[in-house]
Amino acid sequence: MKTKNIIIFDTTLRDGEQSPGASMNAEEKTQLALQLEKLGVDVIEAGFAVASPGDFDAIRRISDQVKSSVVCSLARALDNDIKVAADAISSAKFQRIHTFIATSPIHMKYKLKMTPEEVIKKAVNAVAYAKTFCNDIEFSCEDAGRSDIVFMKEILDAVIEAGATTLNIPDTVGYRMPSEMGAIIKTLHKSVGDRAIISVHNHNDLGVAVASSIESILNGARQVECTINGLGERAGNAALEEIVMALRTRHDIFGEYDTNININEIYHTSRLVSTITGIEPQPNKAIVGKNAFLHESGIHQNGVLKHMETYEIMKASDIGFDINSIVLGKHSGRYAFKDKLTKLGFHIKDSEIDKIFVRFKILADAKKEIFDEDIRALVSSEISKVKEVFKLITLQLSDCNLGLANAAVTISYDGKEVTDAAIGNGTMDAVFKVIDRVCNIQGELRDYKVDAVTKGKNALARVMVKVIFEENKSIITGHGLSVDTMLATANAYIDALNSYFFMKGGFKN
Ligand code: KIV
Ligand code: ZN
């Protein structure tokens, strides 16, 4: 049987990033892109270049560094979007521009306020213009799931003529059932033939994105668009790891199809995405959830011990999950540390390892056993940092007495160190108040989350805060990491403050 290669188009850095709270800085995106390349992803949608200077910069950096995957930028069907996208990917070895316009009656009438003829004209112009920059052009019919099939055939014929090489059929609002998606792809595949590759892009609003992607493959789609951990707007996108593992595990029925994914990098990639975005997959999430390979009930444990296949259809080790992840201790050297970072999917320059290694040694003094998760948390807290304007030097707390607590800090700012103290209704309140006072700002705490990075009483505490500062209405996220929860809290708040100043444009990354 001849194997049909399914192109894996990963959009974690673009559609995934549109998930609330998942925004990443350029360094974080670059780290992730390099890991996606190691995972064997064929096309990396690195961002939406025109959306912001930060997106543009991240796509540029990814284009400079990724060598074996195609690097792609999204662009609306507008000349300026396309020009900026082309600019952002210009240094990539393999380049793709992905342009789109909505084709459903509801989007054309209310969002675009355009007739179907105008939409076709705009799509053709966009593809023809994109073609002047590179050969590999993808065109998407936004909201294809609710578009008229006869109209889609017409627009697809027109964009093929203009030079489109991949035609993407997104179920933008996750409306279609797998059988319906399969039927749409079958009709379009028949009409397009081998003039272009048909791609699918399913959202998970009704929980069937992966099933719809697989049904589309069976009906002629040769590219699937997906994200790690199923990250994405609303209920997310189809999860890469689920599609890939379904094809592998059910080789008996999908043997005809395969991907270039290196499945033993799945676990590291999933953890990297969660650590960087702070969004954990649900514990019972297929393939990468915390419980995906755990057997709690006695009957299951008994069965698995006697013969693994009684209750397991895949091995955790196949996706790179290593249960014995105690790694390094305080006597570990720089070489072992660097090797570990590479195995965990980080690509840190030699010049930057020293700083992280110092933090690792401090942690190793405070904590006997260091797990992979500790290292992931440590490195990602380092790469998520914007330039530190404010830096916490010391934090002192007094006992909480009859509800009143006292916090004193020394914070450095602009080469000066300022010390002050404040009283609050509880320790956390006192910490936030004294930081506000020293930094001369008013922050409004919108969300606070603390979790233990690993098991054990002396586990690292990872704190996430969401804050609104002064007149600026956008919610800023900050992260802090320490074996001491209050220290992690103070650092998370200061991290948010630094991001706020960075956003205001005062400081460069
Ligand atoms: O869901 C969607 O329609 C998209 C397109 C931009 C491809 O993400
Ligand atoms: Zn989408």
Question: Angle at the Cα of 115 (from 167 to 193), degrees rounded to 5?
Answer: 25
Confidence at residue 508, expressed as pLDDT on a 0 to 100 scale? 36
CA–CA dist 277, 264 (Å, integer) = 22
DSSP three-state, residue 227: strand
Containing 479, the helix (H) or strand (E) segment is: strand 476-482
Confidence at residue 507, expressed as pLDDT on a 0 to 100 scale? 43
Q: Is 402 exposed, middle or buried (0-12, 13-18, 19+ CB in 10 A)?
A: exposed
Residue 3 · residue 258 · CB < 8 Å: yes
CA–CA dist 332, 336 (Å, integer) = 6
Look up residue 208 and give its DSSP letter.
Answer: -
The 10 Å Cβ neighbour count of residue 153 is 15
pLDDT in tens, 157-186: 999 999 999 999 999 999 999 999 999 999
DSSP string, 389-431: SEEEEEEEE---BTTEEEEEEEEEETTEEEEEEEEEESHHHHH
Centroid of ligand 1 to alpha carbon of 279 (angstroms): 21
| Residue bearing the CA closest to ligand 1, atom 5 | 142
Q: Is 269 exposed, middle or buried (0-12, 13-18, 19+ CB in 10 A)?
A: buried
DSSP three-state, residue 43: strand
Which segments within 14-119 are labelled E, that is strand?
Answer: 43-47, 70-76, 95-102
DSSP string, 141-204: EETGGGS-HHHHHHHHHHHHHHT--EEEEEETT----HHHHHHHHHHHHHHHGGGSEEEEEEB-
Q: CA nearest 429: which of 355, 387, 490, 499?
A: 490
Pick the ligand that lies closest to the CA of residue 233. Answer: 2
Classify strands 70-76 and 43-47 as parallel, antiparallel or unpaired.
Answer: parallel
Beta bridge partners of 102: 142
Q: CA nearest 233: which of 46, 18, 24?
A: 18
Containing 481, the helix (H) or strand (E) segment is: strand 476-482
Pick the ligand that lies closest to the CA of residue 143. Answer: 1
CA distances to 97, 280, 377, 473 from 138, in Å:
6, 31, 36, 36
The 10 Å Cβ neighbour count of residue 328 is 20
Residue 375 · residue 340 · CB < 8 Å: yes
Tokens encoding 365:
């003094």
The 10 Å Cβ neighbour count of residue 191 is 16
Confidence at residue 509, expressed as pLDDT on a 0 to 100 scale? 35
Ligand 1 pocket test, pick from 140, 223, 227, 231 with the greatest ligand atom count within 8 Å of Cβ, gives 140
The atom of ligand 1 lying closest to the CA of 237 is 1
List residues near ligand 1 (CB under 6 A): 15, 100, 140, 142, 168, 170, 172, 201, 203
Q: CA nearest 197: which of 222, 214, 218?
A: 222
Ligand 1 pocket test, pick from 108, 181, 201 with the greatest ligand atom count within 8 Å of Cβ, gives 201
CA–CA dist 331, 334 (Å, integer) = 10
The atom of ligand 1 lying closest to the CA of 74 is 6
Pick the ligand that lies closest to the CA of residue 170. Answer: 1
Pick the ligand that lies closest to the CA of residue 45. Answer: 1
Confidence at residue 51, expressed as pLDDT on a 0 to 100 scale? 95
pLDDT in tens, the chain (509 residues): 667 899 999 999 999 998 877 888 899 999 999 999 999 999 999 999 999 999 999 999 999 999 999 999 999 999 999 999 999 999 999 999 999 999 999 999 999 999 999 999 999 999 999 999 999 999 999 999 999 999 999 999 999 999 999 999 999 999 999 999 999 999 999 999 999 999 999 999 999 999 999 999 999 999 999 999 999 989 999 999 999 999 999 999 998 999 999 999 999 999 999 988 889 999 999 999 988 887 666 666 666 677 777 777 899 999 998 755 556 777 788 888 888 888 888 888 888 888 888 888 888 887 777 888 888 888 888 887 767 789 999 999 987 667 788 999 999 987 899 999 999 988 999 999 999 999 988 899 988 989 888 878 788 898 988 899 876 667 788 889 998 999 999 999 998 898 888 777 654 33
Centroid of ligand 1 to alpha carbon of 142 (angstroms): 6
The 10 Å Cβ neighbour count of residue 478 is 22
Convert 458-471 to b/e letters by CB count within 10 Å (16 or more is b).
ebbbbbbbbbbbee
Confidence at residue 93, expressed as pLDDT on a 0 to 100 scale? 98
DSSP three-state, residue 120: helix
| pTM listed for this prediction | 0.87
Residues sharing a CB contact under 8 Å with residue 185, sequence separation 6 or more, in sequence order = 169, 198, 200, 215, 216, 219, 220, 221
The order of strands in the sheet holding 404-413 is 390-397, 404-413, 416-425
Region of 236 on the Ramachandran plot (φ > 0 left; ψ -120 to 50 alpha; else beta): left
Sequence length of the chain is: 509
| Residue bearing the CA closest to ligand 1, atom 2 | 172
Q: CA nearest 429: which of 461, 407, 447, 451?
A: 407
Centroid of ligand 1 to alpha carbon of 13 (angstroms): 13
Rounded to the nearest angstrom, the gap between the alpha carbon of residue 455 and the centroid of all alpha carbons in its chain is 25
Q: What phi and psi values does residue 11 have, to the nearest 5 degrees?
A: -120, 30
Convert 426-448 to b/e letters by CB count within 10 Å (16 or more is b).
ebbbbbbbbbbbbbeeebeeeee
Centroid of ligand 2 to alpha carbon of 172 (angstroms): 5
The atom of ligand 1 lying closest to the CA of 143 is 3
CA–CA dist 266, 247 (Å, integer) = 14
Centroid of ligand 2 to alpha carbon of 174 (angstroms): 9
